Amino acid sequence: MSPEAVASPLTPALEDYLETIFELVRDKGVARVKDIAKARGVKAGSVSPALRRLAEMGMVRYELREFVTLSAEGERAARRVYGRHGLLTRFLHEVLLVSPETAARDACVIEHEISNETMDRLVRLFEFLRACPEGAVSVLGRFHDCPLVREDAPDCGGACGRRLGVGTAKEEAMCALSDLRPGERGRVARIEASGAVRQRLLDMGLLPDAVVELERVAPAGDPVWIRLQGYQLSLRRAEARTIHVQRGV
CA dist., res. 127 & res. 86, Å (int): 15
Q: Are residues 226 and 130 in the same domain?
A: no
Do 134 and 74 fall into the same domain? no
Give the residue numbers spanning the domain of 158.
Answer: 115-169
- Could you write out the DSSP letters of every residue in 31-96? EEHHHHHHHHTS-HHHHHHHHHHHHHTTSEEEETTTEEEE-HHHHHHHHHHHHHHHHHHHIIIIIT
Q: Under a CB-based contact definition with an 8 Å cutoff, are residues 70 and 78 in contact? A: yes
Give yes or no for residue 56 having a pLDDT over 70: yes
Q: What is the pLDDT of residue 142?
A: 77
CA distance 229 to 174: 21
**Could you report the per-residue pLDDT of 67-106, keeping only the tens digit for each?**
898 999 999 999 999 999 999 999 999 889 999 999 999 9
Q: Is residue 136 located within the same domain as residue 74?
A: no
Write down the pTM of the prediction.
0.74
pLDDT in tens, 137-186: 777 777 777 776 676 777 766 554 433 333 334 345 889 999 999 999 99
* Residues forming a β-bridge with 190: 244
CA dihedral 37, 43, 48, 50 (to 10 degrees): -70
Shared domain check, 120 and 89: no
